């Protein structure tokens, strides 16, 4: 498993931050979850507004929100992984 090393310049001495590829993937995935929820909710609300539907969400809409949130966060994490580690996922 490869590691990325990020160096920060401090007044005292240079310190290195070391993380594994999997740990970076997890961090990006969980940090992007709130953005995924917002985009998913906006999508469902736009659909409901265009269709003229009012009232609480149905179970299908909750499933859509969950699946689209996870999909958005996974795609962001995979994209970050591909950009940072410069490799193709499916080759």
pLDDT tens per residue across span 22-54 = 999 999 999 999 999 999 999 999 999 999 999
Note the pTM of the prediction, 2 decimals.
0.73
Distance CA 48, CA 57 (A): 9
Question: Residue 78 — φ and ψ, nearest 5°?
Answer: -65, -40
Distance CA 26, CA 29 (A): 5
């Amino acid at each position: 498993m490869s590691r990325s090393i990020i160096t920060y310049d401090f007044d005292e001495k240079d310190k290195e931050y070391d993380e594994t590829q999997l740990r970076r993937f997890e961090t990006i995935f969980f940090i992007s979850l709130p953005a995924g929820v917002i985009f998913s909710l906006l999508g469902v609300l736009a659909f409901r507004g265009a269709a003229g539907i009012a009232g609480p969400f149905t179970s299908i809409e909750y499933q859509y929100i969950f699946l689209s949130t996870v999909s958005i966060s996974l795609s962001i994490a995979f994209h970050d992984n591909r950009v940072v580690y410069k490799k193709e996922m499916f080759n």
